Structure 1
Amino acid sequence: MDTDRRELHRGTDVIVVTPQVFDLLVYLICNRERVVSKDDLVSAIWKGRIVSDAALTTRLNVARSAIGDSGEKQRLIRTLPRKGFRFVGTVHEGDRPSGAAVVSDSRVESLKPALALPDKPSIAVLPFENMSGDPEQEYFADGIVEEITTALSRFKWIFVIARNSSFSFKGKAVDIKEVGRRLGVRYVLEGSVRKASGKGSDYRTVD
């Protein structure tokens, strides 16, 4: 897949797909670390226009067919009932022009090109660091992050990364810009939690 030339190849053959199907494949591949909901696809590919489930299913089936997959096998694009869709194939950045990628059908590996940002403000809330030294405070720290994520998701004008995707960075030393690039968000919220003796628990957040 060459995103600069907007070409899809299988071996030496060029696979002809519509712009929507190409964009659908790119979006699923770039967001492969999380489950993509129907609303995510409608917002990114159809710019929020009303799209029927049948139309979406048709585009997904065409996308699967273009990369040698099918709705029955789901080796590369998997449907998670009542959740959404996820690209589960391996992605290799090829030694090719900028934006090119090679896809196979095993485990997922890294894709270096940055993800496209949503059309609205986007944010990921990372797991907070437990600075109290008490392992039991991990639950408290995780609970705060879940509450913040849930509260932000109530605002329809904000695109909020799901908890499962953000928590894939738990316990890892991360570069904020790299996290934003990998998750496809403009803002990343991180913070720490420290238990104050005799005063319950408090926390601070750092943008």
Structure 2
Amino acid sequence: MRYLFGEYAFDVDRREVHRGADIVSVAPQVFDLINYLLRNRERVVSKDDLIKAIWNGRSVSDAALTTRLNAARIAIGDSGEEQRFIKTLPRKGFRFVGAVQEALDPLGTQQVTENRQVEPQQPDLALPDKPSIAVLPFENMSGDPEHEFFAEGMVEEIITALSRFKSLFVIARNSSFTFKGRAVDIKEVGRRLGVRYVLGGLCGRRRGKFASQDS
């Protein structure tokens, strides 16, 4: 079983966490904690639930639990401030809130048809239950390398500004920038990232593009 979310693949059988082609180093208890939150993502998980599942009910300090949660967030590119994957609900517990897809095929499995090697396609992510948007890297039309840095900085500022709205689900830079330099179909990007809206633009021209999966 694999769980796919953002740019990450969480392989339960191999006990591996992948970010793209890279393996993320994760301590066993941290892996178990993420696994438990993923398996129970439909509900809020209490502190006692985690202690029972990860530490077999042994006495554990709040500091130890906080340390494991912080390590789990770091492993999957999250943070206590952003909480795009693991959300803390004060006095209630924790919940995995990121859009998740489950895949049964082993990581790296490939299909061969007519002697051609075909890469498996990642399933489209389900839309979150609130307005969602991805900001793609702006295309540099000027040919000036300095404009490239300007364009990237502009996109990062837009992502940061949108992320301040708690009612809006915003795809992180690491995920949206995987489409940098690629000819993309806006609606396909929206399906792959699990968002309703996709914002893109051209650097050096007064043009932009904004698309919705509903349009």
Output the TM-score relative to the length of structure 2. 0.52
Q: Which residue, out of 33, 41, 47, partners 1:45?
A: 41
Contact 1:122–1:186 (Cα < 8 Å) also in 2: yes
2:74 is aligned to 83
Percent identity for Structure 1 against Structure 2: 57
Separation of aligned partners in 1, 2:199 and 2:54: 33
From the superposition, tell whether residues 169 and 53 of structure 1 become closer, same or farther in structure 2 (CA, over 3 Å).
Answer: farther
Shift of 1:192: 0.9
2:209 is aligned to 206
Gaps of 5+ in 2: 11-33, 56-69, 78-101, 111-118, 211-215
Q: Which residue, out of 177, 185, 188, partners 1:178?
A: 188
2:7 is aligned to 33
Q: Which residue, out of 145, 166, 188, partners 2:155?
A: 145
From the superposition, tell whether residues 104 and 130 of structure 1 become closer, same or farther in structure 2 (CA, over 3 Å).
Answer: closer
Contact 2:137–2:201 (Cα < 8 Å) also in 1: yes
**Equivalent residues in 2 for 1:146-165, closer than 5 Å:** 146-165=156-175
Paired residues in the alignment total: 138
From the superposition, tell whether residues 140 and 81 of structure 1 become closer, same or farther in structure 2 (CA, over 3 Å).
Answer: same
Contact 2:7–2:174 (Cα < 8 Å) also in 1: no
1:130 is aligned to 140
From the superposition, tell whether residues 142 and 100 of structure 1 become closer, same or farther in structure 2 (CA, over 3 Å).
Answer: closer
Gaps of 5+ in 1: 2-24, 62-78, 87-98, 196-202
* Letter matched to residue 83 of structure 1: I
Shift of 1:84: 5.0
Shift of 1:33: 1.7
Separation of aligned partners in 2, 1:32 and 1:123: 13
* Letter matched to residue 33 of structure 1: E
Two-structure CA RMSD over aligned residues (Å): 3.8
Question: Aligned to 1:190, what secondary structure does the other structure show?
Answer: strand
